Amino acid sequence: MKAAVYYETGPPEVLRYEDVPDPQVYDAGVVIEVEAVSIEGGDTLNRAGGDMPAVPHIVGYQSAGTIREVGAGVTDRHVGQRVVATNLWGSLAELEAAPAMLTWPVPDGADINAVACVPVAFGTADDCLFEFGRLQAGETVLIQAGAGGVGIAAIQLAKRAGATVIATASSEERLARLKDLGLDHGVDYSRDDWVDRVREITGGRGVELVVDSVGGRILQGSVQCLAYRGRCITVGSAGRDPQPFDAGALSMGNQSLTGVFLGAEITTPRAQAMIGRLIDDVAAGRLHVEIDRTYPLAEAAAAHAYLESRQAVGRVLLIP
C-alpha cells in the first residue's frame, strides 16, 4: 500500500509518500480501506518531535473508510461496513489496522469526509464543555482558537446548550467565518488587549467557562478572563510559546483549572456513546463540520504545512 511516512521527526518536509507493507489484522481489530483522514493537531506535534514506534513511521490517528478485514475476536463489525476510526497512529495510509472498539459506524447517507472529522474534535469539545466544564444554559463561555477543529465544534455545542459564546482567532477574517456557526462575539487574540476586550464584552464580570486549547501565555490570559468561581479547561496545547502556569492566580477568585484529555476517556461507555451521538448529529445535519481544504495523500507534507500556517478555518483532510 501507499502511505505518508517519515524516518525522523521534523518539519512537514520529512513526510514522504512511499510503498509500505499492508497492515495485518489482529484479533480485536479491523483493517480499514481509508477514504478520508482528518489531520489533527496531535499529528503535526508528533511529526515535529513525538515518539516513533517504528521506522518508517506512519502518523495520524483519525480516519474513516470501509472495513476490509475483521479480527477473529470481533463480533460487532463486519467486512464492507463503513466506520470512523481513531488510533494511536497509522491513518495516513491507504489501509489502517485499528482497534474495533475505537470504531463507530457511519450512518447511511452520511458524508464520509465530514464524519471522519468528528470523534477527536467534537468529542473533545463536548467533554470540555459539559463533562468537565459543567456548562449551563445562560452562562458565557470563551473558546480559544475558535477557528480550529475543537473550537468550531465547541462553538456549535455551546450555542445549542443555550450559552453566550465568545471565541478568539488570530484575525478578524477568520472570526467572520464563525458567525453562522453560533458565535456571538469574536475577539482577535493577536492583539495585546484581547483580555480587556473579553472583560468589556461581559461588562467587566468575566466568563463562567473558558476552553483553552492553546496554552502558554494564552492560558494565563484565559484565567484573567474568568468570572468569580469561573472554570478554565486546558486541553492539549498548540505547541507554541510554552511557559509555566502560576496556579496562585486562581486563588483570589475561587477559580478552577482542569486538564482534559479525551484519550483517557475514549474507551469508556460514556465517551463511546457520546461520540456516537455526535457522529449521528453531523450525519443528520444538526452539527456542521467545516472543511477548509482537502489534499491527496501524496501531498501530506503540503497539508501539514498548510495546517501549521494557521490559515485554515476548520479541518484539513487527506484523501488516499
- φ, ψ (nearest 5 deg) of residue 290: -90, 115
CA distance 179 to 177: 6
Amino acid at 220: Q
118-114-123 Cα angle (round to 5): 10
Give the tens place of pLDDT for each residue, 205-223. 999 999 999 988 899 999 9
Domains and CATH numbers, the chain: 2-117+289-319 (3.90.180.10), 120-263 (3.40.50.720)
Q: How many CB atoms lie within 10 A of CB 11?
A: 13
The whole-number pLDDT of residue 238 equals 60
- φ, ψ (nearest 5 deg) of residue 130: -110, -55
Using DSSP's 3-state secondary structure scheme, residue 98 falls into strand
Question: Which residues of the chain fall short of a pLDDT of 50?
Answer: none
Q: Which among 185, 187, 188, 140 is positioned nearest to 161, based on CA atoms? A: 140
Q: How many CA atoms lie within 13 A of 261 on its CB side?
A: 5
The whole-number pLDDT of residue 226 equals 98
Residue keyed to cell 461581559: 202
Q: How many CB atoms lie within 10 A of CB 196?
A: 15
Q: Which among 2, 1, 35 is positioned nearest to 17, based on CA atoms? A: 2
Q: Residue 291 in contact with residue 117, Cβ under 8 Å?
A: yes
pTM of the predicted model as reported, rounded to 2 decimal places? 0.95
Give the tens place of pLDDT for each residue, 51-64. 999 999 999 999 99
The whole-number pLDDT of residue 70 equals 98
Dihedral sign (CA 188, 263, 270, 36): positive
CA distance 174 to 103: 32
Q: What is the DSSP letter of 184?
A: S
Residue 298 grid coordinates: 501524496
